[in-house]
Structures are given as C-alpha cells and as structure tokens.
Chains A and B, each alone.
Chain A
Amino acid sequence: MIITKKALPRRTFLRGVGATVALPLLDAMVPAMTAQSATPANAVRRLGFVYMPMGSDIKNWTPPGEGNLNELSPTLSSLAGVRDQLTVITNLELKNSYPGTHATSNAGFLSAAKAKWTESTDYHLGTTVDQIAAKQIGQETQLPSLELAMDLLSTVGQCDNGYACVYQNNLSWSSPTTPLPYEAHPRIVFERLFGEGGSTSDRRAALRQRASLLDWVKEDISRLQNDLGADDRGKVSQYLDSVREVERRIQKAEAQTADNILPDLDRPVGVPAAYADHARLMFDLQVLAWQGDVTRVITFQLARETSNRTYPEIGIPDPHHPLTHHGGNEEKIAKMARINAFHVSLFAYFLEKLRATPEGGGTLLDHSLLLYGSGMGNPNVHDHVNLPILVAGGGAGKHRGGRHIRYAQPTPLANLHLTLLEKAGVRLDAFADSQGKIDELLSI
C-alpha cells in the first residue's frame, strides 16, 4: 500500500499544536512498507508499552466478573470501542519493586527487577522487556525502539527515597546499567523518525557524511581504551556498542531512502500547551512511526511517578501525587479515579487511531500488542500488588480480546512480559521473577 496525502493529512500535526503556522513543507520520508511482506504472517510485528504513573483506584479500574469482558469499569469505559481487542488482567504484582517506592514502580514496570539503592553512577536494574523484544524484532527497522515521555522539564529534589532519578524517569533499560533517555518534544521525535528532509540524493549524502563521522568516532573511542581499569574499559566498550548501533541505524535509513515516498507532512513546530493535546500528538507520532515502519517497539510514559501535574482540563486543579495519598478520602479517590480514566482515554485515542489505520489485510492495531498499566497498585500505601494492567491489540491473531483474566493469587507481572515476548517471537525460559506464562493469554 502507498501512504498518500489522504492517509497522512497535512493537518496531522497541527491540530494538537494550535499554531497553524505555514512552515515550509517538510520533505519527510516515510519509507514504503516493504518490510511487511518479509515478515512471517503470524508474528506480532509491534509492541507498545504505555505507563500510567501512581497506580489507580482499583475499584474503579477493575471490570466486574471474569472470563468475558462483558462490561467495562468506569475507568476503562473509554475503551469500549476496542473491547474485542482488550484483555484486562487482575492481580498481577511486582515483588522486586519492594520496598514500596515511586522510583521502583517505574523502574520495575518493564524490568520486574530489583533496583539497586543508590544515588550515584553505580545504578543497576535489569534489561527491560521492550529492549529484549527490540533486540529481536527491532533490528530490521531504523530505530530498534523509541522511548517517549511527557515531562519536558527536569526537576530537582523530587526523586524518591535515595534512588537516582534514572529509576523514576527512565522506563527502558537496554542493559542493567543503561537507562535509555526519552524524548518528550514532538518536533525532536519527528526529526528522529523522519529526518530533516531534502531530496533523495541530499539525504543520501547527509547519511554518508554521518557514517564516515561515526567511523572516526569509533577509532577515537577505541583510543580511549588504553591504560584503563576493567570497569572503565567496560564503559568504553559500551560506547563502542552505541556507535555500532547508530551505524546500523544509518545503514537502515540509507536503505530506506532508496524507495521512500514523500508524504505531505508538517514538522510539529512546538509543544502544545494543553496536556491532552501534547499527549495526543505524541500518540500521533507513534502511529506514524509504526505506519512508516521506522520502529516496532515503543515505550511511552504518560507522566512521571510523583508527578504533581494538575489536570484543569478535566476539572481537577489538585496535583496528582498528593491526591493519590488519599487516606481513604472519597472525594480524593474520586478525583484520582478521574485522572486514571483521563489517562486511559488518551490511550483509547491511540488504539482507535491504530485501528483506523489500514495495514496489509487489516489494521495497525491488528498486528500490534500493547501493554498499558502502572508499576504501583494502591498509591495510598505505595504497594505493588493488584496492579492495573491491560493488554490491547490483535497481536497478529495471537491475542483474543474481550476477556478479563482474574488471578486468585498474586501473580508476577513478569509472567506477562514473558508471554508478550513469546508472542513477539522471543522465547525465553524466564524473565526476572517470572513463574510461568499467562496461559490464558496464550490460548486463543
């Protein structure tokens, strides 16, 4: 199929941005979708992970009954349109995130690993599920994975309990010691995905220059290796891995330059003022990234743990974090639940959009699998049991939705990670503290 002006309307970005300034058209490249045919028909092509901070009001989150998802809960009601591709899983836990903190909620969500308690450079966690998947299904695309978040400003003095900020802010870790930086600025995300534009030969020349620069950087870094202790040598070899990875990306981009087409796209010019507009724009970019097959694995943090963001657009002027320490106050719980529902509704927007984007014989959503949830259960007491978790997407025929799996006993979230990996074609015996797979999700 061909991405036409119609499929990617020119106003795609402007709705969220507010400013319809006539920027010069960007000669962006969205590569043609040739990779599609090369992929086995029944593998999950894409994985998405969306993080919601500070748990939920689980009473409003959990749908009634179990087995079939006949009725959605108040918090999840906005997902009604995609219920057939939705599975809610109740009673998952993150044992390794104890002692209960915000830092370990975020850090444990995709790693299920124990975060080393430190504020210095010796931080240590575990490779996160998205990165394990990226090593398998991300190698054919320009970016093995894309890490996104919503918080543009860095804050000081607000990280948790003596844990370095990387635990609280970075969802993705490509190794136990390598947190991956995230991006929250729509324009920068756009440029990472589609570059700055230009004609095919311009872009080729630019890529060649980059490749030769990197060649030299590699030499330069190797020179640093002389006379170093073992751990510093380890650092240098990490740097070299990074160089090689960027080289690989450039090669991919070069290959894709060959048969790209140029849709009529505007580069987003700024960051929308309203949270919801910004979040939707970030989701729009994720749809584009998948549509253009620039990446297949995405993580997205809707807000940081301990975020004191207020949500005046839904009538909540109170900062989020103090609300979650509601102490049983019904009014505060109700407000927190509304923030939860608001976050879910943004995710619903994303799913609807994926479903509205045709791909192959179906839709983008059909070929994707997404995990949405939080690493914290009840934020009032900072626990990590009964986490709010749901799985969405067709999973290339490997996920039958419309279900509510309810475990009688607390079950490791890592079981779900292991299962998602299997569906993406990565077979592991175990992941972090997993005790098995989510068999119900495997049975179609």
Chain B
Amino acid sequence: MFARPSARVRPVRLAASTLLLAVIFTAGASAQQPAAAPLQGASSERAIVDQYCLGCHNTTAKIAGLALDTVSPENVGRDTDVWEKVLRRLRARQMPPAGMPRPGERAYGEVVASLEKSLDRAAAAHPNPGRTDTFRRLTRTEYRNAVRDLIAVEIDAASLLPSDESSHGFDNVTVGDLSPTLLDRYVSAAEKIGRLAVGRPSRSPDGQTIRLPPDLTQEEHIDGLPIGTRGGALVPYTFPLDGEYEFTIRLTRDRNEDIEGLREPHELELLLDERRMELFTVAPPEGESPPAADQHLKIRLPVKAGSHKVAAAFLKKPSALLETERQPYQAHFNYYRHPRIQPAIYSISIVGPYDAAGPGETASRQRLFVCRPTRESEEEGCAQRIIETLMRRAYRRPVTARDFAGPLAFYREARAEEGFEAGIEMALRAVLVSPEFLFRVERDPAGLTPKTAYRISGLELASRLSFFLWSSVPDDELLDAAMRGDLSKPALLERQVKRMLADERSRALVTNFASQWLYLRNLDSMTPDMRLFPDFDDNLRQALRQETELFFETILREDRSVLDLLNADYTFVNERLAKHYGIPNIYGSRFRRISLDEGSKRGGLLRHGSILTVTSYATRTSPVIRGKWVLENFLGTPPPPPLPNVPSLENTVGEGLSVRERLAEHRANPVCAGCHQLMDPAGFSLENYDAVGRWRTAEAGKPIDATGGLPDGSEFDGVAGLQQALLRRPELFAGTFTEKLLTYALGRGVEPYDAPAVREIVRKAQAENFRFSSLVQGIANSTPFQMRRSR
C-alpha cells in the first residue's frame, strides 16, 4: 500500500522542540497514508493538503507545530501566517520531504500559484505594512557616515563608539537603547568631532599609532603605494590643525627584540599625499649594545590641517629574490615558520601638533562655515545661518524655532567667552548629541485609529531612503524633494532612487549591507591554522574581501542581474589572489576584472574564497556551516535552530574519518538527521574548496566526493551542480535577496505579512531579469517601506 521511501533517511523539516516526536510520528503517520497516486491535472488545494500534508500536520501529530486540518485553504485570509509558512516550503519544494509521496511538478506549480494569488488578494484587501520601531538609534556605521556628510570629517567610529549588536543578520535592528555608557560616549565623540571640525587647538599634542596587521607580508608591493616600493602602509589621517607633526616608524621585531630580516641596509621612505618627505636608511646594528636600528626613523614635518594620506614603504631592492618567481606563494610574517626575509614596518605613529599655527582651511571648515563674518555685527546672523544649515541636515527636516533655541544658546554662551568659532563648535556639539540627530523617530500621525496602515511622511521616507541606500543622512536635494512632496509621486521617487544609487555613497550597500549579508565582516576574525595554511596572510584576507566587494559593486554600478551573484563568467583578482586561486599570468597588487572560461573554478559567490573561508573552521571545511549558509542566505529556508542540549554534530565522533563520513554517522541518528539532511548536502557540493577557498581534488590522499543536494530533492555533483539547481528557480534566490535587503532597509525582521510585498517586488523584477535596481526600486515602492501600522 504505502510506497516506502528509499533506504536513505528522509529529510524532514521540523521545529526544534518537536523534532524527536516528529520523527516518530512521521514514520507512524506515513504508514497510514494511502499510496501516492500521481496527481492528475488540477486539484483543489484542499485535496492536495489532505493527501500530502495532513499525515503529519494534523491536530494530533501537529508536527512542526502545524495543524492544517483546522485551517481552510479556501479562506487563507484568516490564517495568513500559516499559509505563508506552507507556501514557503512548497515553493522551495521542501515539503513534503524528498522521499515521501510528493505531488507532481505541475501540481506543485498550480497549488503555489493559487495560494499566492489568494494570499496576495487577502493582503491587498487588508494591507499590513508592519510597524518599525518609533525610536531607532543610528548605528555606528551610520553615525560615521552622517558625520562625514554633515561636516566632512572622517572619523574612526570604532574608536569612538561601542559596536552594535546584530539581530536578523543585521546590526540596525536592535537599536532602541541608549545606555548611560553609550550616551557618555556620544558626548565625548561630539567633543572630539567638534574640535576636529572647527580646528580648535587641543590642550596638548595628541597622537595615534597605526599598527600594521601582524600577519601582513611585506616582501612585495602593496596596492596604493608608489611603484618600486615593497611593504608598508597607506594611512588616511585627519590632522586637526596647521602645525608640526612628528612621524615615527617602528619596524617589526622578533621575540628577542631584534629587528626581523635586517641583514643588510635597506631604504625606506615616508610619504605625505604621495610626495616623498624623507628617505631613511636602516642598517644592521654594529658594535656592543648598539641603539635600536630603527631609533632614528623619526621626523617632524609641517602639515596643513585636514585629511592627508600618510604612507611609509621600503624601496624595493632590485637584487632581492623575486617572490613572484617562486611557487607556491609563501607568507612571510611568522618568525618561526616563515620568517620575514627583509625588514617590515610594525607601526606608524603620528603625534602633534607642535607649534600649532591655526585651524587652516580644511574641507570640514568649508562645509561648516557657510558664511564668514567680517565684522562683529555680522556674527550673530552668520552663526544662525551656519547652525540652521547644519541642523536641517542633521535632523533631516526643517528646523523649528524651538529646535533652534538650544544650539543657538550654546553658541551665544561660548561666543561670549571664547569667540565666534568656539561658539559654532559648541552649537555643533549640541547638535551632535541631540536625540533628534542620534535617533530616527517615526511617529504615528495624531488621531489615527489603532492598527491602521498609514503612509509615512515624505521626510520620514527621505530618511528611510538615505539610510537604506547610503547608510547616512539625506542630502539637501533629497530633503528638498521630500519637502516638495515629490516622493509621493512614483516617477519622481524613482528618479531620486536612481540618482542615489548612482551616487558614490551607495557604496554603503556593498560595505554595510553585503558585508553583513554575506558574513564578509567575519573575515577579519578568521585566522586559519598557520600550520595547515601557511600562506594565509593579511594580504590574502584583504584580497578575498576585495574580490567580493568589487564583484558586488560591479553588479550595483552596472545594474546587472543579481543572478550574476550565483553564476558569473567574470571576477576580480590581483596577483596575490590569482596565485591563491591558481590563475596564471596575473601580476601586480592592482585588482582587475578577468573573464572566466567555461571550465574555470571561479565565478559567482559560491566560488569566492571569502565566503568559503568564513564558512569554514580554522583547521578544516564545515559542510554544515556552508550548507546552512546557502539555505539561509540564498534559499531563505534556514534550518530550524539546533535542538536544545544537542551538540553540534560534526564534532561528536572520532577522527580518522572524512568530514563526510563523520557526518554520515550523525545522520544515522534520526534526531540529527532531520536538519542535517537539509544542510549537509548543499555544503558537500562545495567540498572541492578547502577551508581557505582553494580548489582541491583530494583530501588526506582520498579523492573529494562533491556529490550533494538541496532540500527540494535535487541531487548533483559539485559547485556547478549547486549553481544550476539554484538557478532553476531563480525567484527563490531573488526572493531571499529581497528579504535580506528589506530587513536591512526597514531595520526589522521580515514577517509573514511582508511576503506579499516581497512577491510583488520579485515578480516585477523578474520582468527585468532581476536587475539590481529593479529590486531596489521595488523595495522603495513597497508597502512595508512606504507605510507603517499605527499602534
């Protein structure tokens, strides 16, 4: 009677708390199910649900907490959450689990289409845009960008503010708090920024020491430094005042405090804005207890206030052994294993100003001082203009007299004591600690009935747009457009979005959105085992990041299809990365776009070393993490959280087995199998890439088995198979990408009631082959982005 599933363990997708029960019930319930007759033609949803779902999802068994006998597919509007859940699993062909009786592809398609239609109709009748939090603090990244755009001051936000915690994969969700510590830090940050912007002399010379990453190999040229140099670093630095600054260079030392690699004299230069300021020579010390060989690497130079590029690098010796000639690449930073061949720079310190000559003429002063009083009687009027211009940008709205009173009072008080500029600085500080700047506030219009969907104001929409696309405050043009009411006109809104995407500031979508979505942020904390991966150095870490950032940015700038992310015949490499990938004939530190031919091992995010590395452990790959990453970030069907009290599986059996064999052992355990059947196979198909993303065909002498699968039951071999399987239903990937982007855009988790909006965005974008801008425009136009539900 019942067609018994094949011997392999059946994947089942279950909620954590009911997993164990679920497995038992699955077996029990299935046994009573009628034989799976191939479905003929259209069938009502009810019939399909009855036939394929109720065996497990009924009131008695209630597997995954789901009982479909008590809800009606004829009236989905009553239980949209339940049906959205069902739809998601059906669309991904994840339910019924592969191996169980399943409808034919046509019936799947029909039931999905019909469910979507009824759900969309229900949503159109009662739109639910969700409710973003009333108070949302700027994240550290947004704060930094806002300061840059307001007053042209570049700050290192990480040294001023604590980090933000992430939720739903992004750090702009749980941002409702303002602890005393945070407030304290905002007050100190405003003090420092105010001083920098205006150029007020500080009490004493201040300094910063920039340390180069300890695992940076410095034997070769580093991008951004002059040709003919090797190693070193380029440091953007904001000099607070015109004056003299002292630059000190220190070289790396070994544990005996000897300078590494110093066997003969070397020359190194200090540069300011690409101009050589000094050429030093360092030589091996001679005689008894000589002074440190880098003691004299110190110089005092006059520098104009503002942002400059400080650089230090060694002159490359023509005689030095050319590392490029040798294979394979070896890192040189580890004293014991791969010592430096030549000396390297440890840190660059900048201390000053000494003999400060004044604030100079910086970009920030030009931006801040929109007028300059020439006599005392002009001061008050000019101050008002300056403060009002600043406040409008900072508060993202027109300024009221009441807003204005506070900062103006601060101006007047400080003006009386210390003069005009001190007054402006104090007003600036006040603006920077105002809750109107630090928080994005969205409030319900007065007199609205509870739980009503309403359109947010034009100014609120302008802020949503700018923080979405730029991670920063709106510019004057956007504010003007909002004030004119342009943003409520679709064509004009579209024009603004287009303009904003074309603007340089939209790079935040790469460095802030993509870096969180793809876990690129984790690269900095990845330290692959030095013994197993001796050539992993910071040069490679940065190259890996850069490949993915350039790739994502290309799709954004050239407005390409987001499906390129899955499968592309181009990528970006420099010599360091090309060597890592085994791509020949790429020389130099500069990144360039290369075309990939059919048989290439690269192209598409799944083949990017960055992603393959952040989803691995320090010593080996993790098919579980990789599989989960694919399910979560590409398919939008993350496995349920791990079962409480059950340890991560791949680490609970003995050594001597390949990861695949070990995992197979775990999946023999039905409790574990439920989720690992979903996650592991996708990860297995990436096994041809090692823990740092290099291609391999064998592991520990055994050939790699890269056969894998997806929860929809598809089976394939290797990364190409995985890519094809993902591309077979591009709307799943596009939908997941949209959900991630929407989470980030709204700063809240995407809920079942957002699903109709996501579907609409994806449907419209499909007509444009999922061009990047079509998805962004879709979000900007969507109900959850334009509306809000009242309390």
Contacts and interface: CB of A to CB of B under 8 A. Distances in A.
Interface of A: 18-19, 21-24, 27, 98-101, 119-121, 123, 147, 151-162, 164-166, 169-170, 174, 178-183, 185, 187-188, 191-192, 196-199, 202, 206, 209-210, 212-214, 216-217, 219-221, 223-224, 227-229, 232, 235-236, 238-239, 242-243, 245-246, 249, 269-270, 273, 308, 310, 312, 317-319, 322-323, 325-329, 331-332, 379-383
A319 B529 CA distance: 9
Contact of B749 (A119, A161, A245): A119
A413 to B, nearest CB: 18
B504 interface: no
Contacts of A312: 530
Interface residues on B, range: 35 or more
Contacts of B289: none
B178 A242 contact: yes
19 contacts: A18-B346, A23-B209, A24-B205, A99-B644, A101-B644, A120-B174, A120-B748, A156-B516, A157-B169, A164-B165, A192-B181, A214-B433, A229-B791, A235-B134, A319-B617, A327-B647, A327-B654, A380-B647, A383-B645
Given A21-B209, A197-B204, A327-B653, A98 B644 contact: yes
6 closest cross-chain pairs (CB), A and B: A99-B644, A327-B652, A325-B651, A181-B162, A161-B641, A245-B180
Contact of A156 (B179, B183, B519): B519
A209 B426 contact: yes
Given A121-B133, A164-B165, A206-B191, A317 B618 contact: yes
Contact of A327 (B170, B182, B430, B651): B651
Contacts of B429: 209, 213
B727 to A, nearest CB: 24
Contact of A19 (B133, B191, B250, B644): B250
A162 B171 contact: no
A14 B625 CA distance: 40
A182 B180 contact: no
B527 interface: yes
B121 interface: no
B617 A322 contact: yes
B188 A191 contact: yes
Interface of B: 16, 133-135, 158-159, 162-171, 173-174, 176-184, 187-188, 190-191, 203-209, 211, 214, 248, 250, 346-347, 349, 351, 402, 406, 409-410, 413, 426, 429-430, 433-436, 439, 441, 443-444, 446, 516, 519, 521-522, 524-525, 527, 529-532, 617-619, 629, 632, 641-642, 644-648, 650-655, 748-749, 791
B433 A213 contact: yes
A238 B187 contact: no
Contacts of A217: 183, 433-435
A153 B521 contact: yes
Contacts of A174: 179
A312 B413 CA distance: 56
Contact of A147 (B181, B402, B654): B181
A214 B207 CA distance: 28
Given A119-B167, A209-B191, A217-B434, 15 more contacts: A21-B250, A27-B204, A98-B644, A100-B645, A154-B164, A154-B165, A160-B641, A162-B641, A170-B165, A202-B203, A217-B183, A227-B443, A242-B182, A312-B530, A322-B617
A195 to B, nearest CB: 9
Given A157-B522, A325-B652, A198 B164 contact: no
B643 to A, nearest CB: 8
B435 A325 contact: no
B753 to A, nearest CB: 14
A341 to B, nearest CB: 20
Contacts of B524: 153
B165 A169 contact: yes
Nearest to B163: A154
A325 B647 contact: yes
B159 A156 contact: no
Given A162-B641, A273-B214, A120 B204 contact: no
A318 B619 contact: yes
B183 A246 contact: yes
Contacts of A319: 617-619
Contacts of B629: 157
Contact of A24 (B133, B188, B351, B531): B351
Nearest to B662: A327
